[in-house]
Amino acid sequence: MIEFEQKVWHDLATPNRILIGPGPSNVDPRVLQAMVRQPIGHLDPNFLAIMDEVKDGLRRLFLTENDLTFPVSGTGSAGMEACLANLIEDGDKVLVFVKGYFGGRMAQMAKRLGGEVIVVEQEWGKAFDPDDACKVIRQNSPKVVALVHAETSTGVLQPVEEIARCAREVDAIIVLDTVTSLGGVQVLIDDWGIDVSFSATQKCVGTPPGLAPVTFNSRAIKVLQSRKSPCKNWYFDALLIRSYWGEERAYHHTAPINMVIALREALRLIEEEGLENRWKRHQVNGLALASGLEGMGLSLLVCEPEHRLPVLTTVLVPDGIDDARVRMRLLNEFNLEIGAGLGPLKGQIWRFGLMGYSSQRRNVFLALSALGSILKDEGFPCSVDEGLDAAQQVYRNYEGVTVEV
């Protein structure tokens, strides 16, 4: 007989952090409350009704009429894998625009999936010039074009409309990563002519991590239906999943019930706020933070203001300052979580995210004053007052915009 010695688990006490990094973000208490309930079955009529609401809410958020719109069970990378695995077959030409870490992840996935991948690179911290991007698309005539809308590793917002038009000219399918942009900045899937997009719930959508909203238009569905071989990934096969999320209601895999319920509540909150008001809130808070950081004497990584992503601001770590030590002090002394640089930007930048419930004026002032006081303490002569004044000026300029939730 096996003798088990009982292990004593202690009660869990996670800290109450203010999440102003690259994600996850804080979520509205209403979303948390919505999750805390007994699960119901994935084919329960009540759950089927919730699924319909979620699909509708996601269409309204992506601004699309696409029937095949649903949350993939998994985080943003699962959404990425789902989109690419469905579209790519062995030897397919896939053009990936890489201007940061997550573009690089798409290129890696596309290679693993058997694609003949052409990588076009841009310096980290800059956007692609749409004319240059179009030239490469026309030269290569790929089957799939993939790019990141909001590159979380650099804080760059990529203009995509013209690139999408060129992709269509050569009959390519364009896949857009909207993980960090959806719900925080304008994403117009149908107007821009985006064929496929994936996102994640833990950033500007306002739900804990665990789901990846995706959308496929009819051009993309035709590609899926005319594959020579089935999608290599059974779990993410969109045509199989459609039989569950569509009319048929056939079991595919057990939906993460409580996460879907949380997403429903987040979508309800978005509807109550109004999408345009939500974009404006993110824009103004992002602008105030960026102005405040510059006012304090810090430099931003992204030089062109029109390419700065309001929901994620990247700032250069001043010479002589220990990047990790400052982040640790923010966490330990103020409960504030910010992000470090990734890849070549490791140790070079800090990443401040103001996404979803975290995008609030109070967090902007807290971030500026906490960072400023720590930097002064660490020997960097920054002017906290000037930073706060610069942020305040932005709010004065946008009086009337609701910047708290």
* Beta strands 339-340 and 68-73, pairing class: unpaired
Report the alpha-carbon distance of residue 213 to residue 178 in Å, rounded: 9
DSSP string covering 90-108, please?
A: TT-EEEEEESSHHHHHHHH
CA atoms within 13 A on the CB side of 243: 9
- 34: phi then psi, degrees, rounded to nearest 5: -60, -30
Overall residue count recorded for the chain in this entry: 405
Which residues in this chain contact ligand PLP in the complex, by CB under 6 A? 22-23, 75-77, 80, 102, 148, 152, 177, 179-180, 200, 209
Answer yes or no: are the C-beta atoms of 304 and 155 closer than 8 Å.
no
Closest CA to 25 of 234, 239, 268, 282: 282
For residue 24, whether the previous peptide bond is cis, meaning omega lies within 30 degrees of 0, is: yes
Q: What is the DSSP string of 29-43?
A: HHHHHHH-S----TT
Q: How far is the CB of 80 from ligand PLP (least distance, A)?
A: 6
Biggest CA-to-CA distance, the chain = 74
